[in-house]
Amino acid sequence: MKTRHLLIAAGLLVAIGFGAYQTKPSWFTRGDAAQAPVRARTVSVEVAKAERKPVPVDVDSIGTVTPISSVALKSRLETTITSVHFEDGARVKEGDLLFTLDGRQLDAQIAQAEATLARDQSQLAGAERDLRRYTELIGKGATTQVNVDNTKTQVDTLKGTILADEAALENLRVQKTFTLIKAPIAGRISAAMVKVGNFVRPADLTPLATINQMVPVYVTFAIPQRVLAELRDAMKADGSSVVATIPGSKRSETGKIAMVENTVDATTGMITVRGIMENATETLWPGTLVSTRLTVRTEHAVVVPSVAVQRSQTGNFVFVIADGTAHVQPVTVLRTSQGLSVVETGLKGDEQVVIDGQLLLSEGTKVEVRTRKAGA
C-alpha cells in the first residue's frame, strides 16, 4: 500500500510539471499586457461649420387672405332676369357682361319721352316764329308790345320745358343701362344667386353674385408691439418683406407691407399688419389661413445649426472640434431662425461644431469626424 501511494504521488507531480511547462509562454504575455497603456476612446461625430453670414430678422405669424376689392352685384331696377352670361366661379374681366335684365318697360318710357321732347321742340319752333313776326309788326305799329312780351315769355318757357324733357330722357337712358349688369372689377365671380326668370329689385338683401379681386390680394396678420418700431423704420427704407405659405404646401407668395394698423390691441399687445401679394398664379385664395413670415431687416451674425446647441445648468454650449479633440465652448444664443441659432457670443465663425454624437462627448474627448449622410 505504501508503494502504491508513492506511485500515485509521483504521477501527480509529473502531470503538474507538464501543465506548467505547456502554459509557460502565457506568463510573460500577461505581464506585458499589464504593463501596456490603456488606449484612449475615440468617438465618431458629425460636424458643421459655424458661419458668419446675413441672417434675416423675422417674425412668424398666422394670417388670413383677404381681397383688396369685393363687389356684391345688385339690381337697380325692379324687373326680371332674362340672361346670365357667366359660369359659376369663373374668372371675369372688368366690363364683362354678367346679367341682362328685362328692359321693355324702359324702352316704352324712352319712346314716350322722345315723343314729348319732339312735341315741345315743335311748339318752341312755332313760338319763335310768332316772336319774329310780332317783332316785325311792332316796328310797323301793327301790334302791341304786350303781344311781343307774351310770345317771348312763351319761347323761354318752352326752352325750359325742352331742357326738362331732355333731362328726363337722359335719366331713362341711364336706367336703360342698368339692364346690362357688367363686371366693375376683374376677379373671380361666385355662383349666381339668381337664374333666368327670377324677379329682382333694389331692396333685395341677397346679391346677384359677388366678385373678389384675386390679383393682387391682401394678407392680414398680427405681430408683437415690440417689432413695431423696427418695422416702421424698415418700411421707410423699403427693406421689409412678407412671405405667405399655405400650411401643408410648399406654395407661397412674397410681397411687401401695405399698411400697419393705427392702434395696438391693448388686451393682446399685438398690432395688425397687412401685406400685399401679387398672387399672379392665384396661389392665395380669399379666406385662406396662411403661415406668414415677416422679415424686418437683415443683419450679419454667426450662426450654427440649432441641433449643435446643448443646454446645461450653467447655460448653452457647443462642442468645438480642434486637432481631433472636443472642447466645451459656452455660447449665448440670441434667437433661432429656420433651423439656425444666432450666436451672440462664444464663436467667431469658421469653427467646427458637433451636430451629432454629443451624448458620448466631454471635455477633451478624442473624436473622429464621419461623413455626413446625404439629405441630413
User: What gap in Å lies between CA 124 and CA 209, rounded to an integer?
Assistant: 48
| In the block, residue with C-alpha cell 393682446 | 268
User: What gap in Å lies between CA 297 and CA 230, rounded to an integer?
Assistant: 8
CATH of domain 73-210: 2.40.50.100
Is the N-terminal amide bond of 216 cis, ω within 30° of 0?
Answer: yes
If you average pLDDT over residues 134-155, what whole number do you get?
Answer: 87
In this prediction, residue 297 carries a pLDDT of 84
DSSP-derived letter for residue 372 is P
- The CA–CA distances, whole Å, from 284 to 8, 76, 178, 281, 290 equal 102, 33, 33, 8, 9
Edge-first strand order for the sheet with 79-84 is 180-182, 97-101, 79-84, 199-200
CATH code matching the domain that covers 45-54+301-369, chosen among 2.70.98.10, 2.40.420.20, 3.40.50.980, 3.40.50.620: 2.40.420.20
User: What gap in Å lies between CA 99 and CA 179, rounded to an integer?
Assistant: 8
In this prediction, residue 23 carries a pLDDT of 53
| Phi (first) and psi of residue 53, to 5 degrees | -155, 170
The answer to whether domain 59-68+213-298 has CATH 3.40.50.920 is: no
Higher pLDDT, 24 or 208: 208
| In the block, residue with C-alpha cell 444666432 | 342
User: What gap in Å lies between CA 315 and CA 246, rounded to an integer?
Assistant: 37
Q: Could you tell me which residues come within 8 angstroms of residue 129 by beta carbon, excluding any fewer than 6 positions away?
A: none
User: What gap in Å lies between CA 170 and CA 164, rounded to an integer?
Assistant: 10
3 state SS for 231-291: HHHHHHCCCCEEEEECCCCCCEEEEEEEEECCCCECCCCEEEEEEEECCCCCCCCCCCEEE
Query: What is the pTM assigned to this prediction?
Result: 0.69
Q: Per-residue pLDDT for 40 more than 70?
A: no
Helical residues (DSSP H) of the chain, grouped into ranges: 2-22, 24-35, 104-140, 145-177, 228-236
In this prediction, residue 36 carries a pLDDT of 44
If you average pLDDT over residues 35-55, what whole number do you get?
Answer: 77
If you average pLDDT over residues 240-262, what whole number do you get?
Answer: 91
Query: Which of 30-39, 100-109, 242-251 bottoms out in mean pLDDT, i.e. has the lowest?
Result: 30-39
- The amino acid at residue 51 is E
If you average pLDDT over residues 41-50, what whole number do you get?
Answer: 88
Q: Per-residue pLDDT for 22 more than 60?
A: no
- Using pLDDT thresholds of 50, 70 and 90, give the confidence band for residue 21: low
What are the residue ranges spanned by the domains of the chain? 45-54+301-369, 59-68+213-298, 73-210
- Using pLDDT thresholds of 50, 70 and 90, give the confidence band for residue 334: confident
Q: Per-residue pLDDT for 3 more than 80?
A: no
If you average pLDDT over residues 196-220, what whole number do you get?
Answer: 95
- The CA–CA distances, whole Å, from 45 to 312, 329, 373 equal 20, 16, 12
Q: What is the mean pLDDT of the chain?
A: 87
If you average pLDDT over residues 87-100, what whole number do you get?
Answer: 96
- The amino acid at residue 116 is T
Measured at the alpha carbon of residue 15, what is the angle toward residues 13 and 16, in degrees to the nearest 5? 65
Q: Per-residue pLDDT for 204 more than 80?
A: yes
Q: Which residues pair with 277 in a beta bridge?
A: 217, 255
